[in-house]
Chains A and B, each alone.
Chain A
Amino acid sequence: MDDLRELYQATILDHNRDPRNFGALETANRSARGDNPVCGDKLVVYLEIDDDDRVTDVRFDGKGCAISTASASLMTEFVKGRKRQEIDETFEQFHELVTGNPGEKVDGEGLGKLAVFSGVREYPVRVKCATLCWHTLRSAMSGGDEVVRTES
């Protein structure tokens, strides 16, 4: 059970039960869809971006596992108010956090609450659950008509 609590930290369980910024965003000027064909997870990320490339509002919708739902929820909290470059840099760090070598300790410094996903690296088959929303977000930011697929 202790191992599982490393993966399913309280913050993750909380955001799974009560996802923030959940549902469609009427004022969105960008959106993208992400699919994980392996598990059937689907999600949509809605963005409102200003001329300055700053995310002024963001919401997500869809069905997924706890890791995927919590990741999307925490991501929306993180990116709101931030500029694209900063978001890209954070994604790089986040990606490193969840895909690093299992067994290697990481502090996730600079990632704030997103560091709760540090346990994911111990479960390589679950990495895509944590990253699907980020790939979808980035697709939406770059115009994103294409559906993001974790398997492509």
Chain B
Amino acid sequence: MSAAPQHAAPLDVQAVRKDFPILSDSFHGKPLVYFDTAASSQKPQVVIDALVDFYSHGYANIHRGLYALSVGATRSFEEARDKVRGFLNAADEREIVFVRNATEAINLVAMSWGRQEVGAGDEIVISAMEHHANIVPWQQLCAEKGAVLRVTPVDDRGELELDAYESLLSDRTKLVAITHVSNALGTINPAKQLVESAHAKGIPVLLDGAQAVPHMSVDVRDLDCDFYVFSGHKLFAPSGIGALYGKLGVLETMPPFMTGGEMIESVTFEKTTFKAPPGRFEAGTPDIAGAIGLGVAIDYLQELGMDAIAAWEHELLAYATARFEEIPGLRIIGTAREKAGVLSFVLDCAHPHDVATILDQEGVAVRAGHHCAQPIMDRFDVPATTRASLSLYNTREEVDVLVAAIGKVTELFG
């Protein structure tokens, strides 16, 4: 589906590991086993080099300088935008707005589109498995406008209850904002189906793709979503850069989010006119180097092939799930049939914080806590979980190290 060239070759994970310098480091005298990519990914050397090269030999402000250096920086920045367009298979690069991260993209839509389109008594439909970033901006908007937030429930496996979703969609619904892949459970939601149902009732859809884009190829034209958001830092790119995709026809109707330099056509003290999208939404000097780094990360991923990455992660998830099922007193939270590489779990004998401390002593980095998704923790009646998130650079041997480290937890606490 994606316009990106896909290689049929399976992922050579040992070669991939060599691309990430941090994976050769040790902590507490043990080689780093990094299972926290869902929080933020590590960076390949090509991305690190791109930043160094740009700051060493290519840096200038963009869209204004008349000298060669600025023209070159502008070209690199706009090329990065086109890479994001290609990565999402969007039709037009004007549909790609650079932002800091998925959180900012959602806030942009809430404050620009939302303030214009949502009124008293209107409803916004989210789900019980949302990250706080896809709850709080809508909650704030609803409070401001007297609108109502409706929540699609999640079943015991961690899948959306689709019948309930359908029945929540009404003529009061102004927007559906749902995650493509859950950060806390790993559930891959049937995004295309969710969009179809909403569109059948004339309701636009925002998909939070922060956890989806690192793991699978995403085609916004095929999904037909109205907005799609993601963060670069989870996509092997620098932190501080992300993207909002919006259908051009929708972006064109939206007022500015932030105002200032760069996003204007003309300014007098009487009146200011604004640029067309995406410039309208990019006030001030952006993270130029970050955008270029994001473009390089996308090149890197496309060279490996998103399908090869997805296949490897799928294999690794199946292996890790089987190993976890052998551990007495361990319960996996989130057992959706369609699942990305996230293993959230609780142990009978130990709290997630104790688990994470002990795992850290073995060099294993995991997340413990509520994963910025407190409502879904409440849904499963756990205060927190330990989460091991798998990525393209993880191996079966690392899963074995993780399982052995969990063994130390049971030894100490069991």
Contacts and interface: CB of A to CB of B under 8 A. Distances in A.
Contact of A66 (B354, B383, B384, B411): B354
B358 A66 contact: no
Nearest to B353: A65
A38 to B, nearest CB: 6
Chain A CB within 10 A, most for which of B350, B354, B408: B354
B367 to A, nearest CB: 11
Given A39-B368, A40-B374, A40-B377, A126 B383 contact: no
B413 A13 contact: yes
A7 interface: yes
A38 B354 CA distance: 14
B357 A123 contact: yes
Contact of B351 (A3, A38, A65): A65
A100 interface: no
B361 interface: yes
Interface string A39-52: 11110000000000
Nearest to B370: A40
B383 A67 contact: no
B412 A63 contact: no
A4 B358 contact: yes
A66 B361 contact: no
A39 B412 contact: no
B68 to A, nearest CB: 48
A63 B354 CA distance: 13
A3 B369 contact: no
A7 B28 CA distance: 15
A125 to B, nearest CB: 8
Interface in A75-98: none
Interface residues of B, number: 20
Interface in A132-152: none
A129 interface: yes
A135 to B, nearest CB: 17
A3 B374 CA distance: 32
A117 interface: no
A64 interface: yes
Interface string B342-363: 0000000011111001100100
B361 A4 contact: yes
Contact of B353 (A3, A5, A42, A129): A129
Given A40-B374, A66-B413, 5 more contacts: A4-B358, A7-B357, A63-B383, A67-B353, A67-B354
14 contacts: A3-B361, A4-B408, A38-B369, A40-B384, A41-B353, A42-B383, A64-B351, A65-B352, A65-B353, A66-B350, A66-B351, A66-B354, A126-B357, A129-B353
Q: Give the 5 A-B residue pairs with the shortest CB-CB distance, closest first.
A: A65-B351, A65-B353, A40-B383, A40-B384, A40-B370
